[in-house]
Amino acid sequence: MPAERNLFGLSQQAKARLLETLAAPRREKRSSAESLRAAPPPAARLRAAELEGAKEIRLIRDAARSLGIANPFFRMHDGIAGAETTIDGRRFVNFASYNYLGLNGHPEISAAAKAAIDRWGTSVSASRTVSGERPVHRELEQALARLHGSEDCVALVGGHATNVTLLGCLLGRSDVVVHDALIHNSILEGARLSGARRLPFPHRDHEAAARVLAEARPRNGHALLVIEGHYSMDGDLPDLPAFIEVARRHRAWLMVDEAHALGVLGAAGRGSAEHFAIDPREVDIWMGTLSKSLVSCGGYIAGSAELIDHLKLVLPGFVFSVGMAPSAAAAALAAITVMEREPDRVRRLNHRASLFLRLARDGGLDVGGSIGASIVPVITGSSIRAARLAQALFARGLNVQPILYPAVPERSARLRFFLTADHGEAQIREAVAALVEESRRIAAEPVDLAGTMRRLLAGAADRV
């Protein structure tokens, strides 16, 4: 683990000492007679508290409680979460939703999902390979293939699972995966499953990717170069034409994850190919999800007819999984129809995100390399500061999630703002004003982190 990812800035030695103290079993005083009568210890059983990482999570929670920071996760929403949402009966301006085009709850889309349930039920009750195939599946896949300028497409029940099963099936031990250092977890898990050699390159650095491929390209195996079309944590873009050239030069397949690009990039929301005005056939594998702009659930792979035909026969996550629910497929298909019919939604989304980005920069906030298309991070440099800032904004009626260590390195802790086409300009201006004000206040009121750690150590020692 890189040194900069130390928990709360503690040294590895200090963190290990604290975790060891917290993990020590509680010892209670017993009489000699009680000790003699004590039963032999039971056979060892699995305890979640002993799992890797559990102690560190416990430490983070203890530190948050000591600092008066409430858990910002798993908040219960009372209805549709779009530009606004209701939590515990209170209305919030919402910056924690993938509902980029504001289509969740659209009457036409909801009606399509309900009609699919009336026709096919709530489940297809089987793998599509055997008896789960429905017309709506193929209609959705054909629409997605058209959006990506591909010959065909296959849709699966989950976005994360799509990447895991694809890489796990497509590659083997003699192959190599070369990927952006900030690639999504699903790609990392798929690469691990495949057994292929996994080599990262610095974020968005196509020249570094070329060097890695030149050194690692297997003589007989395959090489897969993987990037995201729009990076979900930072809101920035790769130089897609440059990565296409690198892939062709080194005889590597090129895969682009479009989860946060479809509906966001390009004048009509068709994603990276439209944004960069490239021939989409230059990309071997287009991957995407249905849960963002298309307000449904699932994942898909688009590419050549030969590739898709092969995947439908061998992908474990497709062959051995139930087919996508009819309502989910119908909702995504209807969302594509609305998106293509109303391209102004994409323009409005990009305008709102660009406004947020500009105001945040003018306020002196660190927004990293975001281009202001739909995702704008505000980097705080500290998990504690990010959590305090999110809590302060929540108290002011703004719902935004902090991204904390270990999801990102400690110095990259942040708040991540998702913009939608339905956010109003006044909402954005008021939100950024509150963000700048609270950020400055929290920076001026630093917490005594060292003192908090000492109190935790003392409390843990008392329990021993």
Whether 373 has a pLDDT exceeding 80, the answer reads yes
Conformation bin of residue 88: beta by default, left when phi > 0, alpha when psi is -120 to 50: left
pLDDT tens profile 13-36: 666 665 565 555 555 555 555 655
Q: Is 351 a catalytic residue?
A: no
pLDDT tens profile 376-411: 999 999 888 999 999 999 999 999 999 988 788 889
pLDDT tens profile 24-70: 555 555 555 565 566 666 667 888 888 877 877 777 777 777 777 78
Looking at residues 250-273, what average pLDDT do you find? Answer: 97
Q: What is the pLDDT of residue 464?
A: 47
Whether 167 has a pLDDT exceeding 60, the answer reads yes
Q: What is the pLDDT of residue 1?
A: 40
Q: What is the pLDDT of residue 18?
A: 58
Report strand pairing: 285-289 vs 299-303. Answer: antiparallel
Q: Is 374 a catalytic residue?
A: no
Residue 61, CB-side half-sphere exposure with 13 Å CA sphere: 9
Q: What is the pLDDT of residue 31?
A: 56
Looking at residues 222-239, what average pLDDT do you find? Answer: 97
Whether 235 has a pLDDT exceeding 60, the answer reads yes
Q: Which of 148, 179, 260, 275 is catalytic?
A: 260
Q: Which of 272, 292, 321, 423 is catalytic?
A: 292
Q: What is the pLDDT of residue 209?
A: 98
| Tokens encoding 181 | 């250092």
Q: What is the pLDDT of residue 63?
A: 72
DSSP letter string over 301-341? Answer: EEE-HHHHHHHHHH-HHHHTSBPPPHHHHHHHHHHHHHHHH
Report strand pairing: 299-303 vs 152-156. Answer: antiparallel
Q: What is the pLDDT of residue 338?
A: 98
Contact 69, 388 (CB under 8 A): yes
Q: Which domains does the chain have, with CATH numbers?
A: 84-94+343-449 (3.90.1150.10), 107-341 (3.40.640.10)
Q: Which of 232, 293, 321, 327 is catalytic?
A: 232
Percentage, residues of the chain above pLDDT 70? 87
Higher local confidence (pLDDT), 25 or 335: 335
pLDDT tens profile 267-319: 999 999 999 999 999 999 999 999 999 999 999 999 999 999 999 999 999 99
Q: Is 292 a catalytic residue?
A: yes
Which residue in the block uniquely carries the two structure tokens 């913009």?
Answer: 419
Residue 113, CB-side half-sphere exposure with 13 Å CA sphere: 19
pLDDT tens profile 347-369: 999 999 999 999 999 999 999 99
Whether 206 has a pLDDT exceeding 90, the answer reads yes
Helix (H) or strand (E) holding 197: strand 197-201
Higher local confidence (pLDDT), 274 or 456: 274
Q: What angle do CA 353, 362, 232 make, to 5 degrees?
A: 35
Q: What is the pLDDT of residue 399?
A: 97
| CA–CA dist 237, 228 (Å, integer) | 8
Instruction: Please tell me the pTM assigned to this model.
Output: 0.87
| Tokens encoding 307 | 């590739």
Whether 460 has a pLDDT exceeding 80, the answer reads no
